[in-house]
Structure 1
Amino acid sequence: MKHRALVDRNPLFAALGTLLLAAPALAALPEYTFLLQARTNMVGNGSGAYNLEPGALLSGSYTLPITKDRRVGFTLAITPEGSPSLWYGVEGKGERIYTLPSTDPDVRMGDPSLDSRGNVVFAVTGASVDTTENGIYLLNVDDPKQVRVIREPLGASYWSSLVLNEAQQFAARARVGNGNAYALYTPREGRYEATLLAKDRTLDAASPYTYLYSPNLNDLGQLVAAVDLQSYTTEWFQELRVWNPDGTSHLIAESRGRDSSSSIYRFASVQPALNNQGQVAFLASLRDASGKQSTALFLWDGAELKTLAQDGQGDIKELELFPPDINDQGLVVFRAFRADGLRAVWVSDGASLKPVVTEHDLLPSDLGSARVDQETPSNPVFGGAPMINDRGDISFCAGLAPPKDDQEEWGSAIYVAQSSFVPPGESDGGVEPDAGSGNPAPSEPGSPSGCGCQAAASAALWPWALLGLLRLARSRRAQSQ
């Protein structure tokens, strides 16, 4: 299904769209093999844990960022020491690399975000005993004890939806006083300069926005998010926009309260996803003439708005309200129930979709073959939001049990579903299977804490090359006028 969407007619974005949408098309959806990264478990469970101590547990809702070279990070909300920790690993190895040095019972560590240089950012909030503990924490896995804390903009006390890109920028929704703003942090001469791309009306009376939802960021410093423009009545008055680093923005889609021809009743409050081609994946609610609501997953492909999946349509029974993710090849990963009622993690290329892993599937683990299952059928077998990198690899978390006994808990396991795709111009620096564990062995020995400096090549530099092409296009346009 295709829908009408609005885009800015600014020639700057027309040029950017022309340049960025020249991404290689994929011939088919990838095939996947599964690599166990870590397994959490309660203290006292005989099955123990993997790459973790028993008693180190994930939070209730989380994201699992994965870089192009398959580095994975996540936050442990509960640890044997009591303080939250950061876990980091690659190719089946990993460990806790940083534990928050705080005794404050209210302090919280947010989800991390990673780049391929080994940089990690996460927000620390809720500290009341010592409020100076609150802030955006930036570290590198080569020396994780060296932590930089950023508390910009002035007056900020809370940061959420923190995302780091390959240009070493990061963005967040920042609470400033009683209001909120979208803040973009850019490295400049040894410091981070915070630019407020949008503010809500509490922070700026002249703002058109009454509420700012969770944002996301791409490698070009562009931020995507849904916003409210006025209070709900019988309709939602919302827009989905992309902001540029200079504060200008363009409209992607809007709710039917703003445009009666729109099929969108309301945008989901979870993060939309934005790639470097300008494509946007997002969840939204629809409402038919009888008032019945359903959820749909949309893709703005740069020219039109498409429906990738919808409740009750085709192989999808019901979409789950977790953020989708999209890579530069246009592959979208999301969570949804299959038509038979089983939960699954899915991938779509915009034309077709398929489940990557489904409830009751058998996966390799450190304990041998393991079943994706829970002891109570109504409990979700997947946790948090899956994410996808530019290879098409997908990170996800699943509850495990022995193949023939779903009443025995093997804890929650973080996996990388390794794609069969190899990025153009790259050899598969992958891994050979380890017959003993069912896991691939690492392609290089040693700790996951190495910076992997070779990863700072094309993935980090190509956005700047595109910006250079954009400047050239603008220059030529100016000369022709």
Structure 2
Amino acid sequence: MREDTWKKRRSRVGLHGVGVVLGSLLLAGSAQAELPDYTLQLQARTNMLGNRSGAYNMAPGNLLAGSLQIPITSERKVAFRLAITPEERSSVWWGGDGQGKPLYQLPDLGTDVLSGDPSINTAGELAFSVTGTSDAAKSGIYLLNVSAPDEVRIIREPLGATSWSSVTINEAGQIGFRAMFGGLGRIHALVSPENGEFKATIVAKEQAVDGKSPYKFLYSPNLNDRGQIVGVADLTTSSSEYAQELRIWNADGSSQLVAASHGLEPASPIYQFAPVAPALNNKGQVAFLGRATPKDPTTGKNPVTLWLWDGTGLKVLAQEGQERIQTMEYFPPDLNDRGLAVFRAIDSDGLRAVWVSDGASMKRVVTEHDIVPSDLGEARVDQETPSNPVFAGSGQINERGDVSFAAGLAPPDNDQEEWGTAVYVALSSLAPDLPDAGTGEPDAGTGEPDAGPGEPDAGPGEPDAGPGSPDAGSGEPDAGPGEPDAGPGEPDAGPGSPDAGPVEPDAGTGAPDAGSQGPQVPAPDTGCGCQSTSPVALWPWLLLGLLVSRKNRSSARLKG
């Protein structure tokens, strides 16, 4: 059945990979909104040493993490972590427009060192966490600029922090993260540049850190461009159901409740928040995953749902059992200022895909078995083992709607030959947004942000926004897919938390080529950190986590 499905899809896409405009799915009762058309552009391709297909924009033997996030700026620059390298020290790749190379490699910091996914901004600043170093003073948040990558600053704020994760840098140069504090519990914190130094502000604490705190467990957060942090917390309130809040914290210590679980608020449609980071845009909108209540009568399960909070209420962006979505995958969504959310889900044919939705319409960016461009010619998004996921980690979206993602490749007619794992940018057809001049009209003159009526208030208590950056932390529980633990003994998002999705087999890379634009053709037409108040309810997450861990080890053995 799988092969038949692929043949149907390939016939529709065409051997040349030149697809018509991606179709869209309308959500019930909504008018179709403008969603981008996409053209895929290859940025890099990884591959194992000895694989005859080689690599692209890096040398073979540099391999991606099993699950990762690839941040993308408004200028279409991307960065990602190479978890395995010939030098046996992780490195960071940076580039764009089909060109790039490994930019910075960690020095020898010991055998237990771990680094997190990078976060980037348009100024070329790049930040990521490093933990488990043989010299504790070398652990912290690593900050560098792509113009001078060897000039690295190590930030160990706030005083008392022992490990860092979920690192996100915004356009103001502020860095938001979660940290283990004093070896007791976790905090959400923000460091802001000030007179050449960094001022640290703790915005939320677990009860183990501060007995007066209402928060029993803090999940991986996200940061916006106005220095606000969004995240989910388990409360100390005991309940037969999940007692969770999704909240936006401000640097002045105030916060705003976005949503609460049904265990706290009986009118809430949210049974449980997913243990992955939510996304927050610059209009105060929040996209997040969770399980809905009541249960689906046909499956007897609480359907996994992607919601959007627009500042006044919730609406469904995607849900299991609706619009050809069979299974929502537990990878963090991302959200831009246009209200476009990117997420991963399996369709009714059992094929994985990267999707975008604005709540009115939904579209695939790329789907398993699609024919896509590569440096080797036409390639197929596929794995040699049907049960292995074809995508690595979660997709990310920038302000114009461009989407970054990683996928396993094979020759169009032979899924038993590995061409490695490729990093793509799906180029959006939408024109870039111009900054608002204060009246709601695009500013063509000064580019100043809108300070006029109707704009979100950046003051205390108001929801802010920002790019919903990916988690780049290592060690601390990652609310993002498959992040390694950032520090010895740190739980990955709480007991029994799923790893945000199965670990993707990696693929590797060939001879560096940073001189020409990456291959691109129109995208094929595809048709359209866990803590709980209920120990029993942890078992589904625990089993999934164990399964992911087992796949991780199996994949590592195969690659070795």
- State TM-score, norm by structure 1: 0.83
Partner of residue 151 from structure 1, selected from 135, 140, 156: 156
Residues 26-37 of structure 1 mapped to structure 2, 5 A cutoff: 27-37=33-43
Deviation at 1:462?
A: 3.3
Show the counterpart of 1:9.
Answer: none
2:245 counterpart letter in structure 1: E
Question: Is 2:112 the counterpart of 1:125?
Answer: no
Partner of residue 407 from structure 2, selected from 374, 392, 398: 398
Question: 1:380-437 deviations in whole A, cap 9, x for unaligned?
Answer: 00001110000100000000000000000000000000000012449xxxxxxxxxxx
Question: 1:104-156 deviations in whole A, cap 9, x for unaligned?
Answer: 111011010000011000000122x2112210000001110000000011111
Question: Is 2:157 the counterpart of 1:170?
Answer: no
Residues 306-455 of structure 1 mapped to structure 2, 5 A cutoff: 306-425=315-434
Question: Quick one: structure 1 residues 406 and 469, their matched pair in 2 at CA, closer, same or farther if it must change by over 3 Å?
Answer: closer
2:334 counterpart letter in structure 1: D
Question: Is 2:290 the counterpart of 1:284?
Answer: yes
**Distance in 2 separating the partners of 1:96 and 1:55:** 12
Please give the root-mean-square deviation of Cα atoms over the aligned residues, in Å: 2.2
SS in 2 for 1:145: strand
Question: Quick one: structure 1 residues 94 and 282, their matched pair in 2 at CA, closer, same or farther if it must change by over 3 Å?
Answer: same
Question: Is 2:249 the counterpart of 1:274?
Answer: no
Gaps of 5+ in 2: 1-30, 436-445, 462-560
Partner of residue 234 from structure 2, selected from 228, 240, 247: 228
Show the counterpart of 1:49.
Answer: 55
**Distance in 1 separating the partners of 2:342 and 2:181:** 33
- State TM-score, norm by structure 2: 0.71
Are 2:192 and 2:200, in contact at CA under 8 Å, matched by a contact in 1? yes
Question: Is 2:243 the counterpart of 1:256?
Answer: no
Are 1:59 and 1:76, in contact at CA under 8 Å, matched by a contact in 2? yes
Question: Is 2:143 the counterpart of 1:138?
Answer: yes
**Distance in 2 separating the partners of 1:423 and 1:186:** 28
Deviation at 1:303?
A: 2.1
Are 1:26 and 1:329, in contact at CA under 8 Å, matched by a contact in 2? no
**Distance in 1 separating the partners of 2:166 and 2:373:** 32
SS in 2 for 1:195: strand
Question: 1:146-172 deviations in whole A, cap 9, x for unaligned?
Answer: 000000111111111111100111100
Show the counterpart of 1:10.
Answer: none
1:309 counterpart letter in structure 2: A
**Distance in 2 separating the partners of 1:349 and 1:145:** 40
Gaps of 5+ in 1: 1-24, 427-456, 475-481
Deviation at 1:288?
A: 3.3
Deviation at 1:263?
A: 1.7
1:33 counterpart letter in structure 2: T
Question: 1:240-279 deviations in whole A, cap 9, x for unaligned?
Answer: 0011121211111100110111121110010000000000
**Distance in 2 separating the partners of 1:467 and 1:303:** 14
Show the counterpart of 2:108.
Answer: 102
**Distance in 2 separating the partners of 1:370 and 1:465:** 49
Partner of residue 220 from structure 2, selected from 209, 214, 224: 214
**Distance in 2 separating the partners of 1:288 and 1:276:** 32
Question: 1:59-94 deviations in whole A, cap 9, x for unaligned?
Answer: 122110000000000111110100000110010000
Show the counterpart of 2:472.
Answer: none
How many percent identity over aligned positions? 56
**Distance in 2 separating the partners of 1:382 and 1:232:** 38
Deviation at 1:332?
A: 0.4
**Distance in 1 separating the partners of 2:114 and 2:141:** 12
Partner of residue 302 from structure 1, selected from 311, 328, 348: 311
SS in 1 for 2:256: strand
Partner of residue 66 from structure 1, selected from 47, 53, 72: 72
**Distance in 2 separating the partners of 1:44 and 1:138:** 34
Partner of residue 118 from structure 2, selected from 112, 115, 121: 112
Deviation at 1:234?
A: 2.8
Question: Is 2:211 the counterpart of 1:205?
Answer: yes
**Distance in 1 separating the partners of 2:273 and 2:384:** 34
Are 2:226 and 2:458, in contact at CA under 8 Å, matched by a contact in 1? no
Question: Quick one: structure 1 residues 387 and 218, their matched pair in 2 at CA, closer, same or farther if it must change by over 3 Å?
Answer: same
Question: 1:186-207 deviations in whole A, cap 9, x for unaligned?
Answer: 1111101110001010000000
Are 2:33 and 2:361, in contact at CA under 8 Å, matched by a contact in 1? no
Residues 185-200 of structure 1 mapped to structure 2, 5 A cutoff: 185-200=191-206
**Distance in 2 separating the partners of 1:465 and 1:115:** 26
Question: 1:41-76 deviations in whole A, cap 9, x for unaligned?
Answer: 111111001011111111122110000000000111
2:193 counterpart letter in structure 1: P
Question: 1:332-371 deviations in whole A, cap 9, x for unaligned?
Answer: 0000011211100000122110111000001111000110
SS in 1 for 2:359: coil
Deviation at 1:464?
A: 8.5
SS in 2 for 1:265: strand
Show the counterpart of 1:437.
Answer: none
1:139 counterpart letter in structure 2: L
**Distance in 1 separating the partners of 2:319 and 2:127:** 34
Query: Per chain length, whose mean CA-contact separation is higher, i.e. which structure has more relative contact order (CA < 8 Å, sep 6+)?
Result: 2
Deviation at 1:233?
A: 5.1
Question: Quick one: structure 1 residues 80 and 230, their matched pair in 2 at CA, closer, same or farther if it must change by over 3 Å?
Answer: same
Aligned length: 416
Show the counterpart of 1:19.
Answer: none
2:381 counterpart letter in structure 1: V
Question: Quick one: structure 1 residues 256 and 424, their matched pair in 2 at CA, closer, same or farther if it must change by over 3 Å?
Answer: closer
Show the counterpart of 2:541.
Answer: none
Are 2:109 and 2:135, in contact at CA under 8 Å, matched by a contact in 1? no
Deviation at 1:326?
A: 0.3
1:143 counterpart letter in structure 2: A
**Distance in 2 separating the partners of 1:237 and 1:51:** 47
Deviation at 1:293?
A: 2.6
